Amino acid sequence: MAKTKQQKEIIVLVALVVVAALIWMLYFGKRDTNVSVLASRGQYVPIDAVSYKGVFVGLSDAQNTEYKASGRNIFIAGPPPPDPNAAKTAEPPPPVFQQAGPTIPPPAPKPELNMKFFGLGTLPASGPRRAFLLDGEEVHIVSEGDTLPHNIRIIRIGNDSIEFEDTVTGQKNSKTIEIPPPA
């Protein structure tokens, strides 16, 4: 015999009520009644009282202590001010170490590109990149590997920078593209 939808819902409702009642009984139904049994097990024995004579002696010693200032303000964080008498008797600091012999020369300055990098492009679709450099009024079109005046060789042309090296010292540097302000 087929049950109707309403009968199925009633069966599920009854099952949920039974489960809720079981949970209620498991958690809230049990009460501990053993508390009174624990309190009445034996004869009452008072706690041994500690002699407070040492405590009172220490308390009276602390109350009779006199404060002696050390010259330091306890409300300001940091070390106490230096003693002015100690500065007069202090020894001079040892002399700074002076290196004897030859000194190492400072490193050579990085190479500079005295031209303005203002653009790049390629002629054929798979051809090498070319950078456009402005030297005063003169425009130089260079590609990777070209050597410019003052011993500067172009190493790599990127989307927004150009890397170059000094052929004499081997030091490398880069320069970013300089975009003129809009007119």
Q: Where are the domains of the chain?
A: 116-176
What per-residue string of b and e applies to 106-133 under the rule 16 or more CB within 10 Å gives b?
Answer: eeeeebebebbbeebeeeeeeeebbbbb
pTM beyond 0.95: the answer is no
Q: Are 131 and 146 in contact (CB under 8 A)?
A: no
Q: Dihedral sign, CA of 40, 42, 45, 47?
A: negative
Q: Does domain 116-176 have CATH number 2.30.30?
A: yes
Mean pLDDT in residue range 51-78: 82
Q: Which two tokens stand for residue 14?
A: 């009854």
Q: Dihedral sign, CA of 130, 111, 114, 182?
A: positive
Q: Say yes or no to pLDDT of 165 above 60.
A: yes
Q: Say yes or no to pLDDT of 34 above 60.
A: no
Mean pLDDT in residue range 72-91: 74
